[in-house]
Chain A
Amino acid sequence: MRELPDFEIYSPSSLRDLLEYLHGDGRDATIIANGTDLLPRIRRGELRPRRLVDISGVRELRYIREEGGVIKIGALTTISDLAGSHLLSHSRYEAFHVLSRMFGTWEIRNRATVGGNLGAAASSEDLIPIFLALDARVRLLSLGGERVLRVDELVVAKRRTSRRGDEVIAEVSFKSLGEGEWSYFQKIGRRRTHIIALVSLASYLRLSPDGVIEDVRLAFNRVRGKIPERAWRTEEFLRDRRIDEEVISGAERVLESELRLTSDYRASYLYRTEVAKVFLRRALRHSRDMVLGGVESVAEA
């Protein structure tokens, strides 16, 4: 009764095989990683692909390594792989750790992939704001070579990326985090797990030993319209300031003027704006307390 419509599927066994297929017959094929987003969409009738190319067997694309101060993550890396990786085990990679409870279900985390999350490009994809906050680069491979894009160059609109038909999202990379740096991720839905975010904030901060913000990146799942974007003006306001309550209030005001959130059946823009401000406040307090130690007050709104 609930079967999927039939389609052709090609399962390349190596990256080379995949790229040759995408270069030839498979140029118009829909790429499927493990299908946690794509298959429900096909079942709902949102997509009716004639031909799929199944990259789940291309094992060369599943890895997490650190090379020359850069973390490199293969596209087939799962959410469970990220949350359990020893390379990302330092507490400053907290943005990834919280995913082990907040991203989908355990079954989904075992299947959902980094490349799939970026390629699906829905407003609910948690990794898009996280990679924006980490200023990540996405490597696309084709038979002809490679392109390296920023996340905002890849994800151009809701459900639309700039990937060409002969390319595959192969890798995401970002600078390893060190002393004084902290990544964090918050999202809210109607329950504590398996949430599609009404509002999410991925944050990155680099603080000097005396608490001055040397660098900051704040990516919300929506800022204007429906794709994740950085809150540029709020970042600009925060740079070179020391995090105290006055600065936090000032940042909230800038954020409020910068956000152009919309209402939908899930939540009103007023609610989203309020939560976004609370998330900003918590991100600043939490990151400061974690980096500088000596927690004075646990971040509570």
Chain B
Amino acid sequence: MPRLRVRLRVNGVEHELEVGGGERLIDTLRNRLNIKSVKEGCSTGDCGTCTVLMDGEPINSCITLTAQANGREITTLEGIGRPGDPHPLQITFAELAATQCGYCIPGIIMAAKSLLDRNPNPSGEEVRWMLAEHLCRCTGYGRIVEAVLEAARILRSR
């Protein structure tokens, strides 16, 4: 199969890659760019685990071809904060113990980031609607809602 040249900007860094037509964005991110926060859940776009931002919009990286991300800006958890300088969502998820096994959390934080970017003051109801589309099998969601609302408060006070 012919290879395709693809340019991606991931967390602010430009990459030029040769990919096969069937290569998925999640595989490019994890296996070639070593971005391991991106996790695979259902592989069919149902669980929200693999969510990354493409040009600021949450999308499922498990059902997006890398070829179709050509020229786009991709943001993952690694791109929104660092150990010495975490994003408010990363702070509140840790402080409020909003994670248990943690597998679904990167996807949830990316969707939450996109929600807060467009709505700095969401209601609990709006956060729940966002979360309704992300499966977490251990936390029960309550603390995740609190962590998102608390991060929103921190962001508004800055």
Contact = CB atoms under 8 A, between A and B. Distances in A.
B78 interface: no
A195 to B, nearest CB: 11
Contact of B129 (A34, A42, A101, A107): A101
A4 interface: yes
A194 B21 contact: no
A248 to B, nearest CB: 32
A34 to B, nearest CB: 7
Nearest to B107: A107
Contact of B45 (A2, A42, A44, A108): A108
A43 B43 contact: yes
Interface stretch (B52-60, B94-102, B137-145): B52-60
B2 A54 contact: no
B4 interface: yes
Given A39-B63, A52-B21, A107 B45 contact: yes
A179 interface: no
Interface string B39-78: 0100111101001000001111011110110100000000
Contact of B51 (A36, A39, A107, A193): A107
A57 B70 contact: yes
A9 interface: yes
Nearest to B52: A107
B130 interface: yes
A234 B62 CA distance: 43
A105 interface: yes
Given A107-B133, A194-B46, A4 B24 contact: yes
Given A43-B44, A105-B133, A11 B22 contact: no
Given A36-B45, A105-B48, A107-B111, A9 B67 contact: yes
Contacts of B68: 11, 32, 34-35, 54, 56-57
A24 interface: no
A54 B67 contact: yes
Interface residues of A, number: 35
Given A35-B68, A39-B63, A194-B46, A107 B22 contact: no
A52 B59 CA distance: 21
Contacts of A4: 22-24
Contact of A11 (B23, B24, B67): B67
24 contacts: A3-B27, A4-B24, A6-B21, A6-B23, A8-B1, A9-B22, A11-B67, A32-B65, A32-B68, A34-B64, A34-B68, A35-B65, A36-B60, A40-B63, A44-B44, A52-B21, A54-B68, A80-B57, A105-B46, A106-B130, A106-B133, A107-B45, A111-B59, A193-B129
Given A4-B23, A106-B133, A193-B129, 19 more contacts: A2-B43, A5-B22, A6-B1, A9-B4, A11-B4, A36-B45, A40-B63, A42-B22, A43-B44, A54-B65, A54-B67, A56-B68, A105-B45, A105-B48, A105-B60, A110-B57, A111-B60, A191-B132, A193-B133
A-B pairs with the 4 shortest C-beta distances?
Answer: A9-B21, A105-B133, A4-B22, A40-B44
